[in-house]
């Protein structure tokens, strides 16, 4: 993809900057490119004409443009370069992201010795104002530690701790995106530097965080009810609600497991893990395997008038069937007659 950008821009001044250079130097897979150049819109249009795809403004305020390629799996961003490349790099967050490589080849620009910090596996702030400039960088500092296996340079860690309160000013969508990339160790590190508390989370359920290995589960483990403050999707909100609000089973009996599954499925196993009751997971799996493919009766076969009794009757039939006290349509009709007066 670099060759295609280079061919599209010709001899125009342009630099590959940020994460793409960092990941290339680390030997990691480079997915997206960030190109700093004089005329981002013209560069984006020239590139899109060569590879296909429509360019669009990424930020009207900052003049950045994006082209999505490879059926949406990769992006190339073209950002303004109003001054020198060193001026641009001085606005970056960490030294490991403040390295630029000329698009057409040549010596990299590395005014903050980012390559040295890459070798030493250090996350170092470019300046003392990086977190004032963008509070989300507080989370990014921890995420880079976690994702790259690096460590915060002492002065940078001190800045994170001292300015942790600023995280409340970061946009919720961006905060959520960073949190979903953290491992369990990353969440513990958030707590260590004072950011987890600022986000309304805690380590109360931390001992259960590794039971289910998904970012969504870890989000619920460490944020609890506070997860609802973030701009999460409807599906994630439903997932969190099921995990946090389902009543735990008192034992592994068929009745208790059935009632628990009614509240928590399709995430009963995850809900058990959050409650520290994974020992009941086998009972849940047995109940799932024994789940009938069809109900004994439909609502219109109960002989009940329209109203809440229909739903309650169907629930009772399903529960008693799961427990094993009824097994036929006649059993179900008798239950309805006995308990609902029909």
- Alpha-helical segments (H) within the chain: 2-9, 19-26, 40-51, 85-89, 114-120, 130-133, 137-148, 154-162, 172-179, 184-192, 195-198, 215-223, 234-245, 254-264, 268-274, 281-289, 308-323, 329-340
39-57 mean pLDDT: 88
- Residue-wise pLDDT for 236-257, tens only, equals 999 999 999 999 999 999 999 9
How does residue 299 score in pLDDT terms, banded at 50, 70 and 90? confident
DSSP string, 169-184: GS-HHHHHHHHTT--H
Are 162 and 192 members of one domain? yes
Are 75 and 23 members of one domain? yes
What is the pLDDT at residue 155? 97
Residue 273, in any domain of the structure: yes
Asked if omega into 299 is within 30° of 0 (cis), the reply is no
What is the pLDDT at residue 74? 84
Sheet holding 74-80, edge to edge: 55-59, 64-69, 74-80, 33-37, 14-17, 100-102
Interacting residues of 108 by C-beta distance below 8 A, sequence separation 6+: 21, 99, 100, 101, 102, 115
Residue 216, in any domain of the structure: yes
Interacting residues of 134 by C-beta distance below 8 A, sequence separation 6+: 93, 170
* 70 φ/ψ angles, rounded to the nearest 5 degrees: 50, 50
* 139 φ/ψ angles, rounded to the nearest 5 degrees: -70, -40
Domain boundary among 85, 102, 120: 120
How does residue 35 score in pLDDT terms, banded at 50, 70 and 90? very high
Share of the chain above pLDDT 90, in %: 76
What is the pLDDT at residue 305? 86
Are 2 and 116 members of one domain? yes
How does residue 60 score in pLDDT terms, banded at 50, 70 and 90? low
Residue 113, in any domain of the structure: yes
Q: Residue 296: count other Cβ atoms within 10 Å of its Cβ.
A: 20
**Mean pLDDT, the chain, integer:** 93
107-130 mean pLDDT: 96
Distance between CA atoms of residues 309 and 329, nearest Å: 18
Residue 241, in any domain of the structure: no
What is the pLDDT at residue 72? 67
55-78 mean pLDDT: 83
Domain boundary among 100, 120, 140: 120
Question: Which CATH number characterizes residue 110's domain?
Answer: 3.30.460.10
Residue 9, in any domain of the structure: yes
CA torsion, ordered 318, 252, 283, 237, to nearest 10 deg: 70
**Range of the structural domain that residue 276 is part of:** 246-289
What is the pLDDT at residue 242? 96
- Residue-wise pLDDT for 313-327, tens only, equals 899 999 999 999 999
Are 9 and 87 members of one domain? yes
Tokens 């309650």 locate to: 312
Read off the tokens for 252: 């592994």
Q: What is the pTM of this model?
A: 0.90
Domain boundary among 120, 152, 175: 120
How does residue 340 score in pLDDT terms, banded at 50, 70 and 90? confident
Are 198 and 109 members of one domain? no
Are 63 and 80 members of one domain? yes
Q: How many residues does the chain have?
A: 342
Number of domains in the chain: 4
Q: Pick the residue with more confidence: 222 or 5?
A: 222
- Alpha-helical segments (H) within 72-123: 85-89, 114-120
Are 113 and 82 members of one domain? yes
- Residue-wise pLDDT for 128-187, tens only, equals 999 999 999 999 999 999 999 999 999 999 999 999 999 999 999 999 999 999 999 999
Residue 237, in any domain of the structure: no
């Amino acid at each position: 993809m670099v060759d295609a950008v280079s061919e599209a821009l010709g001899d125009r001044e342009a630099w590959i900057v940020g994460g793409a250079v960092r990941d290339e130097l680390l030997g990691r897979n480079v997915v997206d490119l960030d190109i700093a150049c004089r005329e981002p819109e013209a560069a984006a249009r020239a590139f899109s004409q060569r590879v296909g795809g429509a360019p669009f403004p990424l930020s009207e305020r900052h003049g950045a443009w994006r082209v999505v390629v490879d059926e949406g799996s990769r992006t190339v961003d073209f950002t303004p370069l109003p001054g020198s490349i060193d001026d641009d790099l001085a606005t970056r967050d960490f030294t490991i992201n403040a390295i630029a490589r000329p698009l057409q080849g040549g010596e990299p620009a590395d005014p903050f010795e980012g390559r040295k910090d890459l070798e030493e596996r250090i996350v170092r702030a470019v300046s003392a104002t990086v977190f004032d400039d963008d509070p989300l960088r507080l989370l990014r500092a921890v995420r880079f530690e976690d994702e790259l296996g690096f460590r915060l340079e002492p002065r940078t860690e001190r800045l994170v701790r001292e300015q942790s309160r600023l995280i409340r000013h970061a946009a919720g969508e961006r905060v959520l995106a960073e949190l979903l990339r953290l491992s369990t160790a990353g969440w513990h590190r958030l707590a260590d530097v004072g950011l987890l508390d600022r986000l309304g989370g805690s380590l109360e359920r931390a001992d259960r965080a590794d039971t289910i290995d998904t970012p969504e589960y870890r989000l619920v483990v460490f944020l609890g009810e506070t997860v609802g403050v973030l701009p999460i999707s409807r599906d994630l909100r439903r997932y969190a609600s099921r995990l946090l609000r389902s009543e735990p089973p008192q034992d592994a009996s068929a009745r208790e497991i059935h009632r628990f599954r009614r509240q928590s499925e399709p995430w009963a196993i995850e809900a058990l893990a959050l409650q520290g009751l994974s020992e009941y997971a086998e009972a849940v799996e047995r109940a799932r395997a024994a789940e009938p493919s069809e109900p004994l009766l439909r609502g219109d076969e109960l002989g009940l008038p329209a109203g809440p009794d229909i739903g309650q009757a169907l629930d009772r039939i399903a529960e008693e069937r799961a427990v094993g006290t009824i097994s036929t349509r006649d059993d179900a009709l008798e239950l309805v007659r006995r308990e609902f007066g029909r």
